[in-house]
Copies of this chain bind each other. A is one copy, B any other.
Amino acid sequence: MNYPNGKKRSVQLSRNLNSHKQSYSNRGMSLEEDINVTNQYYLTHDICVIHKKPTPVQIVKVDYPKRSAAVIKEAYFKQASTTDYNGLYKGHYLDFEAKETRNKTSFPLHNFHEHQIEHMKAIVKHNGIAFVIVRFKTLGKTFLLEATKLFPLWDRQYDDAGRKSIPYHYFLDNGFEIPINYPAIVDYIKIIDQLFF
C-alpha cells in the first residue's frame, strides 16, 4: 500500500468539482442516501464491495401471526459498536463513518462516539483503511478525512483548552473534497485511489 506524500492534496481536484457540484447540492438527499446510491453503483460496476450496516436494534417482543410475516412489536435502538460502512476495495479493507452538519465554520466532535473512534483506531492498527466522510450541508461541501487526521483532534478535546469541534479550515488543509459526480454521487473511491493506491 502506498501512502501519499502529502503533496498530492490537489487543489486542482477540488476546483474542478465546482462546476459539477452545483447541480447536486440542492437535491435534498441526505448524505446517507447519497452514499447508498454510490455504493450500489460501485457494486454494480464491480469497483468495490461496500455496504452500510443495518441499524442495531434490541428486539424485545415479536408476534408471529398465522399466514403472515413476523411483526416486531417492541424494540429499542442500540448504540452501534462500529462505524456504519465497511467493505473491500482492491483487496483492502475499508471502514468509514459518514456525518453531516448544518454548521458553516466547524464540525462538532459529538457527532462521533467514543466507541466509533476506538473502532477506527483498531482498524488502523490492523492495517485497514479508515476515514470519515463529513458534509457541510449549508456550504454544499463534502470531505474525506483520514481517521489518523481525526484522532489527534478527538483526543485533544478532553484537554483543558481542547476544542470540541473541527474547524472548517482543517478539512480544507487536511481533508480532500469528494467529487460529486453522476452516477457515483459521492465519489469517495477517487480520493482513496489517490491516497492509497
**Inter-subunit contact B51/A82 (CB<8 Å):** yes
**Inter-subunit contact B90/A93 (CB<8 Å):** no
Interface of A is mostly: mixed
Shortest CB distance A56–B (Å): 4
**Inter-subunit contact B54/A53 (CB<8 Å):** yes
Across the interface, which residues of B come within 8 angstroms of A57, CB to CB? Answer: 54-55, 57, 59, 72, 75
Shortest CB distance A33–B (Å): 16
- With A51-B82, A54-B57, A128-B88 as contacts: A72 and B74 at CB distance below 8 Å: yes
Chain B residue at minimal CB-CB distance from A43: B122
**Inter-subunit contact A49/B123 (CB<8 Å):** yes
**Inter-subunit contact B128/A91 (CB<8 Å):** yes
**Inter-subunit contact B72/A126 (CB<8 Å):** no
A90-133 CB mask vs B (1 if < 8 Å, else 0) is 11110100000000000000000000000100110111100000
**Inter-subunit contact B77/A69 (CB<8 Å):** yes
- With A74-B72, A127-B90 as contacts: A122 and B54 at CB distance below 8 Å: no
**Inter-subunit contact B82/A72 (CB<8 Å):** no
A160 within 8 A of B: no
Mark out the residues of chain A between 43 and 66 whose CB falls within 8 Å of any chain B CB in the assembled complex: 43, 46, 48-49, 51, 53-57, 59
Q: CB within 8 A of A126: which of B81, B90, B128?
A: B90
A161 within 8 A of B: no
Shortest CB distance A2–B (Å): 14
